[in-house]
Amino acid sequence: MDIVKAAIKASQHQLTTLIGEDTDLLILLLYYAEANNRGLYFRSDKSTVPKVYNISEMKQVLGSDMCSQLLFIHAFTGCDTTSRIFSVGKKSAFQKLVNGELTIQTCANAFLVPNQANSVIEGLGSKAMAVLFGGKSTDSLASLRYNLLIKKMSPPSHLLPQNVSLLPSPRLNIIALECITRSWCGLERRVT
């Protein structure tokens, strides 16, 4: 976080390029970048041919709301501080956000609201998870996860438990995602 804030501050006075191989840096730069910079770039060293991203142009194209919502999508689909959700990829989650999936947008925005009730965060997080699993926001998470597991497994699927309540609850994942998202935004973490 400190390296991103230092790059943002430096970009107010001079052309600045942050070099790294971490998607966290790109997402945080997009969130914190200000329009009045002298040029802010991110160079990724992940591939053999480095990619350079113009943060100001990306933020202008995506918009501030989308850049804020990307924090949630990035944390939800796995980052340095959270594990990814089984069978939910960054590309499909990002596409749902870009295509205006209302449940995803609503949940992403709710995670940034100070003093949001745990019940609201858990409810919206479960709905977002259902949508990202390919269901509707009203679908049961347990049955969606069970069906996904069955589909991914080779026979003999009859060995799987028929009681879907044996699958772990997503509650802790959702609370962790909210903590990470709020931390990235500089918001205080709620103690529950």
Residue 47 has pLDDT above 90, yes or no: no
Q: Token pair 């709905």 is at which residue? A: 127
Region at 78 (left for phi over 0; alpha for psi -120 to 50; beta for the rest): left
- What digits encode the pLDDT tens for the residues 88-118? 777 888 899 999 999 999 999 998 888 888 8
Q: pTM score, two decimals? A: 0.73
Confidence of residue 170 (pLDDT cuts 50, 70, 90): low
Question: CB-based contacts of 171: which residues, under 8 Å, 6+ apart?
Answer: 122
Q: How far apart are alpha carbons 150 and 59 in whole angstroms?
A: 40
Q: How far apart are alpha carbons 47 and 115 in whole angstroms?
A: 40
Question: CB-based contacts of 69: which residues, under 8 Å, 6+ apart?
Answer: 97, 104, 105, 108, 109
Residue 17 has pLDDT above 90, yes or no: yes
Confidence of residue 164 (pLDDT cuts 50, 70, 90): very low
Residue 28 has pLDDT above 90, yes or no: yes
